[in-house]
Structures are given as C-alpha cells and as structure tokens.
Structure 1
Amino acid sequence: MPIEAVETSRLYRQIADQLRHLIESGEFPVGSRLPSERELADKLGVSRPSVREALIALEVEGRVRIRMGSGVYVVDPPVQAIARLWSDRAPEGPFEVLKARELIESAICSDAVGLVEPADIAALDMVLEQMAASGLSSDDLVALDRSFHVALAGILRNGVLVRCVGDLFDQRISPYFRQLARYFEGPDSWRRAVAEHRAIRDALARGDGAAAREAMRRHLQNSQERFSQSFGDAGKSNGPAGAKAGPNQKNGRMTGSKRKQGEAR
C-alpha cells in the first residue's frame, strides 16, 4: 500500500468535530441553544470566523439550525445524516477561498492594465448591465458574478489563470458556501458588489493599474467582512430553561484549538 501525504485537519473541521461530539454525547441536547459565537471562540481559543465556518458545516449536516438574531439551536439530524461528508471531504473554508482570490485577482487586475483592449471593456460592460437588471435570482447573480471575474482573468490571455479563477469561484456553489450566503447576501450586498465591479472596470478603462488592484482587493475584502458578521447570537444561555448551562463538566469540556497560521480573525 503506497504511503500517502497526511493533510493537517482544517481548524473549522476540528471545531465542528468537537461540537458534534458534544451534541452526540448529550452535552447539547436537541432543542438547546449553543453558546454564542463569542463564547465559543473564547472557550476554544480561536477566531469567531472559524467558529462560524464550523457552525455552517454543522448546519449543512443537519445538526443545528441557525436563527438570525436568536442563536444556534441543536436539531434532530435527518434520517440519512450526512455527518461524515465534511470529515471525509471537507472543502476549504470561505475565508481561505476569499483570501486566495483577493491575492490572485488583485494581481491580475494590476497586470491586466497593460493588456486590456476595448473588446474586454465591452465584455465587462455587458456583464455589469445584466447584473443591474431587476428580477434576477440569486443563482443568476452568482453566474454573472462568475462571468465578470473570469472575464477579468481572460484579459491576460492565460488559460491557467482563467481556470484558476473559475475553479476558486466555483467553491461558491458548494452546499457549504451557499448556506453561508443565505445569511449574509441579499439585494443590498449585490448592489454594492455591482458598484465595486464598476470601480474595477473604470480603473482598467483609464489604465490605472494601482487603482484596479486596490478596487479588486477592497471588493474581496468586503466579502470577507460581510461573512464575518455575527449570526446575532443572544445571551450566554445554552438553551431553554432546564437545559445545561454549558460544556464545563469533566466529560463534556471543550478544549482549545491551536490557531493555525493564516487563520481569519
């Protein structure tokens, strides 16, 4: 049997695994509310975005239900639970993906200034016009968003970069990323995204590489900040009256997770 490389478990997976164990052991019974994001982050010694990624993974599994402005509640898992989906094949977290896109696509914008042609600007304009139309579904907007970013990469006439940008963007259509977008994307955020796209387009059209790079960097940082907003967990209660106060007993204690280099904060 050949020896295979061992991948260090992603931090949000470690957090999700620990919370899943506490749920399965009855420390957090069905109907109870988990501690707030802030409390979980403090107990585990990690950032709140990492906790948020773990909670989204658990919701996709059917272990918890996130109620904006109220908290995160434990629910009965589906009959055919997909609890091991993330253990066996967990995707990169959204903050990892967005940070990678920020670095790659801002560099693309800087270099694109020397190669952009009128036809490229026209292609971007067409996408922006479609994105500004009314009555578009979320799926329509995501598809147009992808077209804009891939078209930008195409200005460099480099197939590897086009594929790289497309592949990174396609992580948005995973169940995990879609679940996160449900809470933090809407008409207002899409209007801001279109305005940010236009700022990128305008910088390219006037040949300002530094401005194009900064506009793309700011655009993708704004996405990271949007996904960093709180779910609105209220209070420090673990659930309704009579539920356990928290995982502080000997057999249900949460243990801190060591921060990894590059963790979103």
Structure 2
Amino acid sequence: MRLPIERKKVSSQVLEQLKEMIKNGEFPAHSKLPSEMELAELFGVSRSPIREALSVLEASGLIESKQGGGSWVKEVQLTNLLEQVTLDIVDIGQVYDLLELRSIIETEAAALAAVRYQKQDILELELALAQFAKTVEDREVVGDEADYMFHRVIIKASYNPFLEQTMANVSELLQKALAFSLKKNRLQQKREEVYREHLTIFNAIYERDSEAARKAMNTHLQNVRRKLGDNRVLPN
C-alpha cells in the first residue's frame, strides 16, 4: 500500500521558509526583506513563487510594502492576529447569538472595569450616559451610537486587550444589533428602562462594586434579549 505524498507548490514551500526565517529572527521586525531577485536566488526559484509567497505574507499582516519599494517585516502582536469579522446581513438569529456573546463577555468586563477603571473612563461613561439620555424622548433618534459608546468604554476600562480586540472585531455587527434592538424600543417607557439599566451599571462601576456591576450588566443584557424574543435566556 502506497502512502500519498504531499506535493506542495513551490510558493507554499517558499512561504513556509520565509515564515520560519521571520519567526527565528533571521528577518527581524522592522527589517527590510531582500528583493524579489535576491530571494529568488536564495531559494533557487523563479520570481513568480516569491511574489506569491510575499502576497500571502502581506495579506496575513506579517510584512508590509512601503513607499519607495521593498517589503518590511512588521512587529506582530497576538491580539492583531484576530481577524476582523465583516457581516453585511444581520438576521434575528445572529442578533441572538451576538447578545449571548455579549452576556458572556460584558458581564465580566463590567466587573473588571469596576476594579480597574481610571478617572478618564468615568468621564467618558458620564458623557455616553448624557448622550443616551437625550435620545430617551426623541423617537426620531435611534440612540445606537451613544449606547455603543457606553458599552465600548466599559470594555476599554477592563484593561484587557483581548477583551477589547474581541469586541472590536464584531463592532460592525454589534452596532447593527444595537440599532435593531433600539428600534424595537422606541416607546419612551422602554427607552427609560434602558437608560435606568445603564445608570445602575454606571453607579456600580463608579462605586467599584464588581459584583453589583456584573449583576447589573447581566440583567441589562438579559432584558435586551428577552425584549427581542430570545427564548434561550436563562432565568435570573
């Protein structure tokens, strides 16, 4: 019985070699890579597979082309490897899934923010609250920007770069989901409920009460999910 032999493209072999050379420091961060001609001579191949490999490296964020010619090795941080999620169509199922994700992440982020926030974070939260308050009585304004700002500041105030990057990756979908949910809550009473929930979260964070912040955020997001008809919400 013959075992299949994997025959890799020349460009794939070049790509693997270049990644290994970047990883082991032979081509360190902020250094300029050899020219296509020099790389072709180094690997004993034509320039075509070199160009293919360089294109993949650039698309992966490992190198960048700079004005004036040449490819340069970028300094790569782990959080930058999380790819941006781009979704143009949001259905109700996606909204439910996103709000479930938010319930998992933002409850703990609120608890962390209560312990770690700095003065500037409180000022930004106060501004977001004030902006959302203006939307309570104005039915023509959706209010998603002020709402998004409030939650974004809390994530930032957790001072965990992975939490911030994760939420940034779904920011486009998050803003669409917020607009969707707020349009469902255009009645003044419902808007006031959302504002009061935000205020409760703010007060808990301001008082540095992590458990109260966690509970307030969880209650807020579960209420949002219930209003949108998500029957998967666990009872309080």
Name the TM-score class by shorter chain: 0.5 to 0.7
Conservation of the 8 A alpha-carbon contact between 1:109 and 1:152: yes
Partner of 2:159: 157
- Return the offset for 1:204: 0.8
Conservation of the 8 A alpha-carbon contact between 1:203 and 1:209: yes
- Return the offset for 1:159: 3.5
**What is the root-mean-square deviation of aligned Cα atoms in Å?**
3.0
- Return the offset for 1:197: 0.7
SS of match in other structure, 2:173 = helix
Q: Is residue 264 from structure 1 mapped to residue 232 from structure 2 by the alignment? A: yes
Partner of 1:187: 188
Distance 1:180 1:149 in 2: 15
Distance 1:208 1:166 in 2: 26
Partner of 1:12: none
TM-score by length of 2: 0.52
Conservation of the 8 A alpha-carbon contact between 1:184 and 1:227: no
Distance 1:180 1:195 in 2: 16
Distance 2:111 2:178 in 1: 28
Conservation of the 8 A alpha-carbon contact between 2:204 and 2:212: yes
After superposition, the C-alpha distances for 1:192-251 in whole angstroms (9 at most, x for unaligned) are 11111111110011111000000000000000111118xxxxxxxxxxxxxxxxxxxxxx
Distance 1:228 1:101 in 2: 16
Q: Note closer, same or farther for the CA distance 1:189–1:165 as it changes in structure 2 (3 Å cut).
A: farther
Percentage of identical aligned residues: 21
Distance 1:189 1:202 in 2: 20
The amino acid across from 2:191 in the alignment is: W
Bigger mean CA offset, 178-187 vs 195-204: 178-187
**1:239-250 matches, cutoff 5 A:** none
Distance 1:101 1:182 in 2: 19
Structure of greater relative contact order (alpha carbons < 8 Å, 6+ residues apart)? 1
- Return the offset for 1:120: 1.2
SS of match in other structure, 1:264 = coil
The amino acid across from 2:146 in the alignment is: L
SS of match in other structure, 2:200 = helix
Gaps of 5+ in 1: 1-84, 230-262
- Return the offset for 1:177: 7.5
Q: Note closer, same or farther for the CA distance 1:188–1:122 as it changes in structure 2 (3 Å cut).
A: same
Alignment partner of 1:142 out of 95, 120, 144: 144
Q: Note closer, same or farther for the CA distance 1:103–1:119 as it changes in structure 2 (3 Å cut).
A: same
Partner of 2:119: 118
Distance 1:203 1:114 in 2: 10
Bigger helix fraction: 2
Structure with larger Rg:
2
TM-score by length of 1: 0.47
Distance 1:180 1:150 in 2: 17
Distance 1:100 1:90 in 2: 16
Q: Note closer, same or farther for the CA distance 1:198–1:178 as it changes in structure 2 (3 Å cut).
A: closer
**1:15-164 matches, cutoff 5 A:** 93-133=94-134, 134-135=137-138, 137-139=140-142, 141-164=143-166
Conservation of the 8 A alpha-carbon contact between 1:149 and 1:165: no
Q: Note closer, same or farther for the CA distance 1:185–1:221 as it changes in structure 2 (3 Å cut).
A: farther
Gaps of 5+ in 2: 1-87
